[in-house]
Amino acid sequence: MRPRRVIGVDAGGTKLLGGVVGEDLVVHHRVHRLWRGEDLSGLLGTMVEAVEEARRASPEVEAVGFGIPSLMDSRSGQSVTSVHLPLDGVPFGDLMSERLDLPVVVENDANGAVLAEQRYGAARGASDVVLLTLGTGIGGGIVLGGELYRGSVGAAAELGHMVVDMNGPLCQGSCPNRGCLEAVASGTAIGREGAEVARRDPDSALGRAALQGVAMTGALVTELAHDGDGGARGVLTLVGERLGVGIANLVNIFNPEVVVVGGGAAAGGEMLLEPARRVVAERALRPSRDVVRIVSARFGPESGMLGSAALALDALGGA
């Protein structure tokens, strides 16, 4: 029998990554899209276009798994609230299945990512796992006792919206809170802190980039940090410490074996994780802090896509 293939899609706050994925989790074709301020109709159209591109490359696909940055209601299958995309109150699975004429599985994007890392990646073999995806915002996923934890109605694990500074900066998008972990430790926060360094020190690499009109993004700050720039490295240390505060809370609450940190903004690697580990060692309680491992995602920014594909394969009876 021919091995099954599905399409996994990770729709993040600013971009889409999709791929044709086999039962061995090998990716056979990838598609990328950037969001350009689309309304709901444009957003769904862009997703359909990306899936159809992948489908043309591999016509035998049998289903599509979508990971979307939204709080889901498992009772209705609706996307209830999305901080970064216009998906509030949208019956996303029904709409996409209708447009694609394929079985569609929908899950929160970080739930898919934690599943990929727990089954096949950096947390393989662990039964209690917490994942944070650092990107435009911060997503979260939890596996407890070997099972994906969704909460009572499917809206659990919005870990990026735990408050770590009650008087901190306003959170992003439609989140009404202040001082969320997402507001202070996401890729967006890295870019914001980089801009502050550039303002204070115009002779630094960050300052020179700003004077040249280069957009101050988390990716730029991380690139300059890898190049050895002290100011950029300082930003990653600061953000890593803030990340550690959030992880210490998660360690105290869930007593996980592994905390996986992924997403595009985790490209700082040990420059982020080492300060985070130091803060966890100082702030988390024993014995939880003594057993937890804090590691980078094996699949990096592809965790969400692969997790969405794994859920689609599950629905078909594979994976």
User: In sequence order, what DSSP letters do the residues of 130-190 get, joined into one string?
Assistant: EEEEESSSEEEEEEETTEE---SSS----GGGSBS-TTS-B-STT---BSBHHHHHSHHHH
The angle subtended at Cα 149 by Cα 85 and Cα 110, nearest 5°, is 35
Predicted confidence pLDDT, tens digits, the chain (319 residues): 667 999 999 987 778 999 999 988 889 999 999 887 778 888 889 999 999 999 999 989 999 999 888 878 777 778 877 877 888 888 988 899 999 999 999 988 888 889 999 999 999 999 999 999 998 899 999 999 999 999 888 888 999 999 999 999 999 878 899 999 999 999 999 999 999 999 999 989 999 999 999 999 999 999 999 999 999 999 999 999 999 999 999 999 999 999 999 988 889 999 999 999 999 999 999 999 999 999 999 998 888 899 999 999 988 885 5
- What is the spatial distance between Cα 265 and Cα 136, in angstroms, rounded to a whole number? 8
Q: Are 22 and 54 in contact (CB under 8 A)?
A: no
Stated as kind and residue range, the H or E segment containing 255 is none
Report d(CA 225, CA 268) in Å as an integer: 8
Three-state DSSP class for residue 123: coil
Contact 81, 88 (CB under 8 A): yes
CATH fold of 122-297 reads: Nucleotidyltransferase; domain 5 (3.30.420)
Closest C-alpha to 237, from 248, 246, 225, 247 = 225
Cβ atoms of 185 and 239 within 8 Å: the answer is yes
Other CB atoms within 10 Å distance of the CB of residue 129: 29
For residue 101, give Cα distances in angstroms to 16, 62, 94, 150: 20, 10, 10, 27
- pLDDT at 124 (0 to 100): 95
Residues of the chain with CATH 3.30.420.40: 5-109+302-316, 122-297
Pure H helices in the chain: 40-57, 92-100, 109-120, 181-185, 187-200, 205-211, 218-226, 230-254, 270-283, 288-291, 303-316
pLDDT of the residue at 172: 87
Please say whether the beta carbons of 108 and 68 come within 8 A.
Answer: yes
Tell me which CATH homologous superfamily contains domain 5-109+302-316.
ATPase, nucleotide binding domain (3.30.420.40)
| Residue 129, CA atoms < 13 Å, CB-side half-sphere | 30
At 36 the pLDDT is: 79
